[in-house]
């Protein structure tokens, strides 16, 4: 049975880029199965791409071939690579930080720089669509058995894989207090996620049902400042109210019950979006 190809990009589905990638894969082998992870990763943001892979890839079977194309450096000398994870999954991507969470999560067994001669013949060389001509094409060759991992390129040390600097920004944890930054946001529902794991949050001594004073700032401007209940889930607060909870991604989250937190309060994500938490007594 041939492995599934799982696609992630920042292309969106509002034009034909994703379909072009799938078309190249099908030209190599029309029997290959292609699934979509997400095509709405924040534009030009390897950090969000890395977070997404770290959250989703553990739930896919070993041998899956993941293609992640969030590539602000397309056409430059940044490496195009294929990584073999410790669980047998392959990830084909620019080496620009996208592999960060997988490196520290599942773990990376080996990584190879894609041979530049492995390229789809589109009739004319284009330097700005490597998702189609290099990454998707290489995935199809690997999935169809026309190429092995070893034949895709020269191996280089896992230690040389580029990492997102955000990963090194650790939260400050205290007794019933914590601080960090808004790591990512779920644009569809509007909830946000902090760089504080569920386990780290619990180590600070916070308990369900407790009120917590939450302050979110951006470049010195206070964007959110109020008391929020820490609960098991959304339904423990009235509709429209904010709620802190331990998310399924294993990180602390803040949402509005049946509303969009990011839209209502003008919140975005990134290391400049700082947050602090302190226990608040009712």
Write the pLDDT tens digit of every residue in 7-29. Answer: 999 999 999 999 999 999 999 99
Do residue 44 and residue 73 come from a single domain? yes
- Which of 166, 195, 214 finishes a domain? 166
Kindly state the helix (H) or strand (E) to which residue 12 belongs, with its residue range.
none
Phi, psi of 170 (to 5 degrees): -85, 150
How many domains does the chain divide into?
Answer: 2
Do residue 275 and residue 230 come from a single domain? yes
Do residue 85 and residue 211 come from a single domain? no
pLDDT value for 75: 87
Do residue 10 and residue 66 come from a single domain? yes
Tokens for 170? 């650790």
Do residue 158 and residue 174 come from a single domain? no
Q: Which residues contact 201 (CB under 8 A, 6 or more apart)?
A: 178, 246, 252
pLDDT value for 165: 95
Kindly compute the dihedral angle of the four CA atoms of residues 51, 54, 55, 57, in this order, to the nearest 10 degrees.
140
Q: At what angle are helices 137-144 and 17-28 packed, to 10 degrees?
A: 30
pLDDT value for 186: 87
Cβ(58)–Cβ(106) below 8 Å: yes
Do residue 66 and residue 79 come from a single domain? yes
Do residue 71 and residue 189 come from a single domain? no
Tell me how far apart the alpha carbons of residues 232 and 229 are, in angstroms, rounded to a whole number. 10
pLDDT value for 60: 97
What stretches in the chain show pLDDT beneath 50?
282
Tell me how far apart the alpha carbons of residues 279 and 282 are, in angstroms, rounded to a whole number. 10
Do residue 148 and residue 184 come from a single domain? no
Token pair 């292309």 is at which residue? 11
Do residue 61 and residue 200 come from a single domain? no
Do residue 103 and residue 160 come from a single domain? yes
- Which of 141, 166, 191 finishes a domain? 166
Do residue 212 and residue 130 come from a single domain? no
Please report, for the domain that includes residue 65, its CATH number.
3.40.50.10790
Please report, for the domain that includes residue 236, its CATH number.
2.40.30.90
- Which of 166, 187, 210 finishes a domain? 166
Kindly state the helix (H) or strand (E) to which residue 253 belongs, with its residue range.
strand 251-256
Token pair 């602000």 is at which residue? 72
pLDDT value for 280: 61
Do residue 46 and residue 159 come from a single domain? yes
Range(s) of the domain holding residue 64: 5-166
Q: What angle do CA 174, 228, 48 make, to 5 degrees?
A: 75
- Tell me the whole-structure pTM to 2 decimals: 0.92
pLDDT value for 178: 98
């Amino acid at each position: 049975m041939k492995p599934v190809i799982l696609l992630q990009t920042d292309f969106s589905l509002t034009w034909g880029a994703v379909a072009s990638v799938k078309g190249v894969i099908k030209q190599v082998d029309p029997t290959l199965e292609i699934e979509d992870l997400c095509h709405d990763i924040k534009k030009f943001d390897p950090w969000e791409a890395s977070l997404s892979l770290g959250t989703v890839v553990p739930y896919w079977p070993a041998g899956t071939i993941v293609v992640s194309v969030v590539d602000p450096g397309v056409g430059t000398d940044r490496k195009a690579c294929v990584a073999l994870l410790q669980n047998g999954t392959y990830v084909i991507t620019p080496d620009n930080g996208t592999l960060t969470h997988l490196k520290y999560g599942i773990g990376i067994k080996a990584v190879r720089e894609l041979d530049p001669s492995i390229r789809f013949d589109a009739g004319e060389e284009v330097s700005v669509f490597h998702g189609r001509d290099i990454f998707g094409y290489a995935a199809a060759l690997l999935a169809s058995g026309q190429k092995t991992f070893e034949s895709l390129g020269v191996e280089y040390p896992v230690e040389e894989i580029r990492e997102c600097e955000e990963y090194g920004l650790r939260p400050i944890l205290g007794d019933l207090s914590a601080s960090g930054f808004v790591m990512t946001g779920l644009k569809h529902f509007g909830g946000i996620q902090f760089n504080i794991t569920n386990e780290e949050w619990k180590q600070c001594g916070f308990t369900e049902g407790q009120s917590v004073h939450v302050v979110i700032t951006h470049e010195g401007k206070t964007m959110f400042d109020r008391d929020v209940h820490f609960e098991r889930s959304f339904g423990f607060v009235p509709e429209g109210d904010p709620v802190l909870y331990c998310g399924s991604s294993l990180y602390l989250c803040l949402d509005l019950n049946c509303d969009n937190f990011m839209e209502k309060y003008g919140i975005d994500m990134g290391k400049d979006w700082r947050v602090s938490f302190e226990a608040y007594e009712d």
